[in-house]
Structures are given as structure tokens and as C-alpha cells.
Amino acid sequence: MRDTPLPVTLVTGFLGAGKTTFLNHLLSSDHGEKLGVIVNEFDELGIDQDLIENTRGQLVGMNNGCLCCTVQGDLKPMILAMLEADPTLSGLVIETTGLANPGPIAAAFFADPLLCEATRLDAIVTLVDAVNLKQHLDPTHPDSVPFAQVAHADRILINKCDLVTEAELERLSVDLRAINPLAAQYRTVRGVLSVREVLDVHAYDFEHRFEEGFADDHHHEEDISSVSFQTTGDFDQIQLNTYFCNLLREQGEQIYRCKGVVNVAQLDEPLLFQGVSTLFATAPGKPWPPTGPRVTRAVFIGTGLDRASLEAGFMACRLEPAPRPG
């Protein structure tokens, strides 16, 4: 078995966005990584037969050291079987195509004890079609897709960007950021980019990119929105834990992602928090600077979010300033 958890990348995206081409690029490129790839249908990838080293049931070996298999039933036994077949894999890529919402799969890597021990969720990568993105983002169009794919993303690949103008790309980028201000965006042609941009990026590590992604509120026609706010003052950690437990129990299906930095009373370091659907975790950050304000910031991404209610509940965890003597 591995000494460290295997990083897992979930790949999702719109119909025709280029997921197959992107996965083919990961499997066939000479990038020096030994990847395990779980896909819906191996044949759809169209991998050159000369690249296939051996076949053992549903597990296909590639001559660059990668392994590939197709989704059959529960993902967990497939993941564990792939780890057993080659403990030296450097990463695992799972295609979630056809699943409207990648959230439940992402949550499994935090909730399942075996998966927590053997793997770690590294990032969710969503491919979008630059040519047809406008109609995909139109909820009245028959080809409209669930917005959860964009809302959950840590990396958004705007593919086929060579087929649209620069002005169109800028508008698409703004539309995507309105849904998800946390995700890094990349413009690609045929799904090609450096694997360093999408693999082993530690998007769910508490120390990673926690100072980014806090912006003004955004709202989209599909009722997907991001709510952000910031404040100063000390917060009570017990009240915060109670607030988040109640919030995610009652609205966990609506909140796709949340993330924040909180100034907790009597702590020299900020409290970092992040959540995926109904799962929530906290960890201490690096110590606050010795001078300057300690600013608490939070962002929520989801559907049907009530900014006033979210902010009121969050701010209720703030301690009242101590009265001045005299």
C-alpha cells in the first residue's frame, strides 16, 4: 500500500465540451506521470492500440505506465483495486460524465473511512464548450446542463477557445465567474494544457489558495449564486461550529461549496473553513500578521441562497466588543 494518500481528480463537463479528448491527452501524453483513469467507456477514448500494454479484465495497462478501467457499479472497489494493482500510481483521474452533480462523489472522499485513508480529493476539473457555452448557460434552452458542474469546479477549462473571438471569451469568463468565483480558469484547444495545472494542485488543502476567491456577490439566471462578505471583530468558535452544523444540515443540498477565513477570539491564527455539500471542516491557518486588521471573509456558492439570512447567522457568531473602562 501507499505511504501517502493518492490524489484524486474528478473530471466533469458539458456534452461535447471535449472531455474525451482531454482524457485521451492525459492517458497518451509523455508527461512522466503514472495515472489511474476511471472512465465511463474505455472505447470512447479511441486510444491507439499501440499504446496498450496489456489487458486484464476491465483494467487496461498503457505503455506509459498509466492504468485505465471503465465504471462498473460502485466506484470504491474499483479505486481500491487500482491501488492494489499499482501502488506506485502518482494520481487517479475519475470521469464523472453523465452525473449531473459531482458533489456526491466529491463528498465520498471525505466521508468514507477507506477512501479517506487511501486517497485525497485533489480537485474538480470542469470542461466547458466555448462555442456553445452561451446556450448551455441558458436555463430555457433544451440543451441546458446542470450548473452544479461549474459551481463545484476548482479548475474550469474553457475548451475550443480557438473557435470564438477574444471578446466572446471575455464575456464567457465573466459568466462563469458569476457562478463560481473560486475556480481558476484556463483557455484550451482540444483540451491540451500542462498536467501541472490540473493534477496534484491540492485544491482542498487548507493552506492552498485560501487568500483567493473572495469577491463581490454574483447571481445567475439559474438561481445559482455566490455570496461573499467580510468583517472585522472577534468570533466565538463554539457559536460558529453550531451555526455551520445547523446550516449544512438544513441547507446542505443547496450549498455546493463554502470557504472562509475567520478571526476567532483568543487565537493568534485564523480559523480556516471549507465545505462541500453537507460536509464541513476547519483547521488553523498561519498566524495573523503582528500589525493590521484581522479581516474575516467568507464565500458561499449554491442555489437559492439568501444573502441576508446567511450573513445574519454568520454575524450572530461575532462577539460584542468589550465595554470601555470608566
63-78 per-position pLDDT tens digit: 666 667 766 667 888 8
**Model confidence at 223: pLDDT above 80:** no
d(CA 247, CA 316): 13
pLDDT for 166 equals 94
Q: Around Cβ 116, how many Cβ atoms within 10 Å?
A: 14
All structural domains of the chain with their residue ranges = 6-197, 218-315
**Model confidence at 325: pLDDT above 50:** no
Q: Around Cβ 206, how many Cβ atoms within 10 Å?
A: 15
pLDDT for 173 equals 92
234-263 per-position pLDDT tens digit: 999 999 989 988 888 888 778 888 888 999
Percent of the chain with pLDDT over 90: 24
136-167 per-position pLDDT tens digit: 666 555 554 567 888 889 999 999 999 999 99
Burial 213-250 (b: 16+ CB within 10 A, else e): bbeeebebebebbbbbbeeeebbbbeebeebbeebbee
CB 172 within 8 A of CB 220: no
**Model confidence at 217: pLDDT above 70:** no
pLDDT for 56 equals 54
**Model confidence at 82: pLDDT above 90:** no
The H or E element spanning position 127 is: strand 119-129
pLDDT for 74 equals 77
Name the pTM for this structure. 0.78
Mean pLDDT, residues 266-292: 85
Q: pLDDT-derived band of residue 322, with 50, 70 and 90 as boundaries?
A: very low
Residue range 218-315 forms a domain whose CATH class is: alpha beta
83-127 per-position pLDDT tens digit: 888 888 899 998 886 556 788 888 888 888 888 889 999 999 999
Of residues 189 and 66, more confidence is placed in: 189
Q: Which fold has domain 6-197?
A: Rossmann fold (3.40.50)
Mean pLDDT for the chain overall: 80
